[in-house]
Amino acid sequence: MTVSVALFNNKGGVGKTTLTYHLAHMFQRLGHRVLAVDLDPQSNLTAAFLDEEELAVLWAEPESPAWGGASSALSESPIRRVTGRSGTVAASVRPIMEGLGDVAFYAPIQIMDGLWLTPGDLELSAFEDRLSAAWPNCVMGDPAAIRTTTAFFRIIDDAARRVRADLVLIDVGPNLGAINRAALLTADTVLMPLAADLFSLRGLRNLGPTLRSWRAMWQRDLRPKVPPSISAPSGAMRPLGYVIMQPTMRLDRPVKAYQRWLERIPTIFNGSVLGDPVPADSGRSYEIATLRNYQSLMPLAHDARKPMFDLRAADGALGSTQAYVQKCRAEFRVLAENVLRRIDEVKSPGSEPNPGDESAGSSGGEPLPRRL
């Protein structure tokens, strides 16, 4: 059974795309078949997986004299991951945008054995208005509106079936607009990257009630209107928990500020996301991991076009930096294993819905198959 995880935070700049990229690679290293989906119109996840020449072909940019033409540059590459038959999410929804029909399906791009990408495109932002207009019409049972609202789900479902994915990781932009509503409806679960600061806590206060409202409205008012001929998501969006992205700290005062906000996260998460206010000393059961700041490895990983935990001496990771790479690999492995464990907990047969979760009627499912 395929399980989808959306990585989402209402606040930008917390490392959401970096986390998605590295988790996709780590899950693949652990033996799972992984589909990464870029539903953020900024398309940073797509740019992390593909180089500039591949992006030029994917996005059908005119030939550039800077590299002798996108097509010629790609033809010289030893690995042809992107072809003229590759398509982005924006290309998939273009028939809806142009009033010419339903979604078009494209095979995902294979990054490596066991890892695929459904790429994004800046043009996806134009789909926002169409999704916004379709939402209220779904209540009336309008088939065109329902096809529009479920477009992302059907695109992801088709791609996941093609590659027999165990896990789908969905990168979502940092806002509460119509694109993100449709994107999050596709997700079985939601993982939230957070920084221990005022802005992330404010984001949680906005994010939690909105997710619960979307879930309740979809399952109560809209999903019953979906005709059998249209495949639609359950809209479960069950919270897996949160990952703390640790900042760089050198002075005593920032450390104290970090600890102060860190201690407030469990209560705000329970109250705003789960809808279950609890005492502050109730523990941090939804904190999946804390990731240290690996800022010094990021430039090397960017230049080498690989995850930070795969850096080698040939990539510039020399001396003590290599020890840092090993630590990074160990921490991401623990994080990935913790996420898998949480997925099994929330998707196991007979599992109770989370406190305050209106999705009691959403599908459960079997534990994620392990290939460790």
Burial (CB count within 10 angstroms: exposed 0-12, middle 13-18, buried 19+), residue 126:
middle
- What does each C-alpha distance from 74 to 70, 282, 338 come to in angstroms? 6, 55, 39
Q: Considering the domain boundaries, does residue 363 fall inside one?
A: no
User: How many structural domains does the chain have?
Assistant: 1
* Residues spanned by the domain of 118: 3-347
Q: Considering the domain boundaries, does residue 37 fall inside one?
A: yes
The Cα diameter of the chain in Å comes to: 64
- What does each C-alpha distance from 25 to 16, 35, 46, 169, 249 come to in angstroms? 14, 10, 14, 11, 28
Tokens found for residue 6: 């959306």
Q: Considering the domain boundaries, does residue 15 fall inside one?
A: yes
CATH code of residue 259: 3.40.50.300
Q: Considering the domain boundaries, does residue 358 fall inside one?
A: no
Q: Considering the domain boundaries, does residue 146 fall inside one?
A: yes
Q: What pLDDT is recorded for position 63?
A: 58
Q: Encode pLDDT of 350-367 as tens digits.
A: 454 443 344 333 333 334
- Mean pLDDT, the chain, integer: 85
User: Of the candidates 113, 149, 105, which has an alpha carbon nearest to the alpha carbon of residue 131?
Assistant: 149
Q: Encode pLDDT of 138-158 as tens digits.
A: 999 999 999 999 999 999 999
User: Of the candidates 286, 267, 268, which has an alpha carbon nearest to the alpha carbon of residue 203?
Assistant: 268
Asked if 187 and 4 touch (Cβ cutoff 8 Å), the reply is yes
* pTM for this prediction: 0.87
Asked if 171 and 17 touch (Cβ cutoff 8 Å), the reply is yes
Q: Hey, how many other C-beta atoms are within 10 angstroms of the C-beta on 71?
A: 12
Q: Considering the domain boundaries, does residue 213 fall inside one?
A: yes
Helix (H) or strand (E) run with residue 209 in it: helix 198-217
Q: What pLDDT is recorded for position 87?
A: 92
From first to last of its 372 residues, the chain has per-residue pLDDT tens of: 899 999 998 776 668 999 999 999 999 999 999 999 999 999 999 999 999 989 998 998 765 444 444 444 444 444 578 876 789 999 999 999 999 999 999 999 999 999 999 999 999 999 999 999 999 999 999 999 999 999 999 999 999 999 999 999 999 998 899 999 999 999 999 999 988 888 888 888 888 999 999 999 999 999 999 999 999 999 999 999 999 987 655 444 456 777 888 888 888 898 889 887 665 555 557 899 988 888 789 899 999 999 999 999 999 988 889 999 999 999 999 999 999 999 998 876 545 444 334 433 333 333 443 332
Q: Considering the domain boundaries, does residue 369 fall inside one?
A: no
